[in-house]
Amino acid sequence: MAPFLFYSEFETYLSAEKRYSPHTVLAYIKDLEQFFDFAGIQHEHELSEISSKLIRGWLVSLIDGDYSNKSANRKLSSLRTYFNFLKRTDKVARNPLTGIVGPKSEKRLPQFANETDLIQTDLGAIQSMEVEELRDLVMIELLYQTGMRLSELIGLKKIDLQNSKLKVLGKRNKERLIPLSNELNQLIHQYLDKREIEGLNSEWLINTNKGDKLYPKFVYRKINIYLGKVTELEKCSPHVLRHTFATHMLNNGAGLEVIKELLGHANLSATQVYTHSSFSQLNNIYSQAHPRGHKNK
């Protein structure tokens, strides 16, 4: 890492003012390191030598290097945020990214599982489950029934379970309350009770096999195994269950504003990506409601 490029101040800006997570801050710094390595920049006085032509050359090299347009745009955003910070704090006289537009991102619709694919929880069978089986089931049902993010699941503590709702800490430390179904609430308490009996109790709502806090690869592996068994999706990640939650909610009549609040989206545009899946539902409603629609059945 180049020592004279205001990294420390920029990290403080991202975490304290922008309220980005440590993971996001690290990603920004890695993007900057990649650019400065490409540009051969090591000292702050060399920042004035950076031109829009150099930045466009970097974008071309990224795309030629098999980075997707989405990844290239994310890296460009990191660089743009960095120079906006430098300009704002009078560390540079100009922003070389002014007027630069990134490559057009491919619009990919979110993948989701069908309602019939997901295994219905058998509340009668959970009595005989081992604590690890219960734990895995709780993770799956929480992701599917609440739509929470992977990071939010990992960060859940026992004190966040409040009667029939969960307090979730989302992006930029924004809290929201998510309702729990009676079945899911019962499942969570069954897991906690069995976990305590086996001496795996801790402040975290969900533990690893050793009683430690969850970590991303652990959850990803469990969800990947589960979705791989019940679906034919190419991507079997925890985020697929978030997409599935939103899609199923929308297809069963929930409004976008409600889904937006449950997902913890900052604006409605992020939620509208799920409207793609509701056409079949709209078609059914049209067929039932319009006086001539039923004739097309």
Residue 60 included in any domain: yes
Domain termination site, one of 25, 58, 88: 88
For this structure, is 239 an active site residue?
yes
Q: Using CA atoms, how far apart are residues 77 and 31, in angstroms rounded to an integer?
A: 9
For this structure, is 171 an active site residue?
yes
For this structure, is 243 an active site residue?
no
Asked whether the predicted pLDDT for residue 288 surpasses 80, the reply is no
Structure tokens of 69? 């347009």
Query: Mind listing the pLDDT tens digit for each residue in 84-96?
Result: 999 999 988 888 9
Q: Residue 157's beta-bridge partner residues?
A: 204
Q: Are 69 and 106 in contact (CB under 8 A)?
A: yes
Shared-domain flag, residues 30 and 158:
no
Residue 297: the pLDDT is 47
Asked whether the predicted pLDDT for residue 112 surpasses 90, the reply is no
Shared-domain flag, residues 48 and 172:
no
Percent of the chain with pLDDT over 90: 58
Residue 29: the pLDDT is 93
Residue 163 included in any domain: yes
Residue 251 included in any domain: yes
Shared-domain flag, residues 70 and 147:
no
91, 165, 176, 239: the catalytic one is 239
For this structure, is 189 an active site residue?
no
Q: Using CA atoms, how far apart are residues 62 and 8, in angstroms rounded to an integer?
A: 26
Query: Mind listing the pLDDT tens digit for each residue in 249-258?
Result: 988 889 999 9
80, 222, 242, 243: the catalytic one is 242
Rg of the chain, C-alpha, whole Å = 23
Beta-carbon contacts of residue 30 (< 8 Å; ≥ 6 apart) = none
Residue 12: the pLDDT is 92
Percent of the chain with pLDDT over 70: 88
Shared-domain flag, residues 131 and 209:
yes
Query: Mind listing the pLDDT tens digit for each residue in 166-193?
Result: 999 998 889 999 999 999 999 999 999 9
Residue 130 included in any domain: yes
Shared-domain flag, residues 202 and 253:
yes
CATH number of the domain at 68, please.
1.10.150.130
Q: Using CA atoms, how far apart are residues 114 and 94, in angstroms rounded to an integer?
A: 51
Q: What is the mean pLDDT of the chain?
A: 87
Query: Mind listing the pLDDT tens digit for each residue in 54-70?
Result: 999 999 999 888 888 88
Direct distance between the N- and C-terminal alpha carbons of the chain, in angstroms, rounded to an integer? 64
For this structure, is 195 an active site residue?
no
Q: Using CA atoms, how far apart are residues 71 and 83, in angstroms rounded to an integer?
A: 19
Residue 276: the pLDDT is 64
Angstrom CA distances, 263 to 132, 245, 285, stand at 27, 9, 25
For 131, which DSSP code? Answer: H
Asked whether the predicted pLDDT for residue 240 surpasses 90, the reply is yes
Q: Using CA atoms, how far apart are residues 57 and 90, in angstroms rounded to an integer?
A: 26
Shared-domain flag, residues 138 and 261:
yes
194, 222, 243, 265: the catalytic one is 265
Q: Which is it for the CA torsion 214, 168, 70, 239, positive or negative?
A: positive
Shared-domain flag, residues 191 and 44:
no
Cα–Cα nearest to 142, from 191, 105, 95, 69: 191
CATH number of the domain at 281, please.
1.10.443.10
Shared-domain flag, residues 70 and 151:
no
75, 135, 149, 248: the catalytic one is 149
Q: At what angle do helices 52-64 and 69-88 cross, to 10 degrees?
A: 150
Asked whether the predicted pLDDT for residue 157 surpasses 70, the reply is yes
Shared-domain flag, residues 134 and 75:
no
Residue 266 included in any domain: yes
**What's the number of domains the chain is made of?**
2
Residue 136: the pLDDT is 96
Residue 66 included in any domain: yes
**DSSP element (H, E) containing 268:** helix 268-271
Q: Using CA atoms, how far apart are residues 120 and 185, in angstroms rounded to an integer?
A: 15
Shared-domain flag, residues 81 and 132:
no
Domain termination site, one of 37, 58, 88: 88
Residue 152: the pLDDT is 96
87, 165, 171, 213: the catalytic one is 171
Asked whether the predicted pLDDT for residue 114 surpasses 90, the reply is no
Residue 248 included in any domain: yes
Shared-domain flag, residues 173 and 46:
no
Q: Are 19 and 173 in contact (CB under 8 A)?
A: yes
Residue 135: the pLDDT is 96
| Ramachandran class of 74: left when φ > 0, alpha when ψ lies in -120 to 50, beta otherwise | alpha
Cα–Cα nearest to 55, from 11, 4, 24, 101: 101
Give me the sheet containing 175-179, strands edge to edge. Answer: 161-162, 165-169, 175-179
Asked whether the predicted pLDDT for residue 282 surpasses 70, the reply is no
Shared-domain flag, residues 149 and 54:
no
Considering only residues 121 and 240, tell me which one the structure prediction assigns the higher pLDDT.
240
Query: Mind listing the pLDDT tens digit for each residue in 194-209?
Result: 999 998 888 999 999 8
Q: Are 214 and 222 in contact (CB under 8 A)?
A: no
Phi and psi angles of residue 143, each rounded to the nearest 5 degrees, phi first: -65, -40
Type of residue numbered 49: E
Range of the domain at 33: 7-88
For this structure, is 265 an active site residue?
yes
Domain termination site, one of 88, 110, 135: 88
Residue 100 included in any domain: no
pTM for the structure as a whole: 0.65
Query: Mind listing the pLDDT tens digit for each residue in 26-85?
Result: 999 999 999 999 999 888 888 888 999 999 999 999 988 888 888 999 999 999 999 999
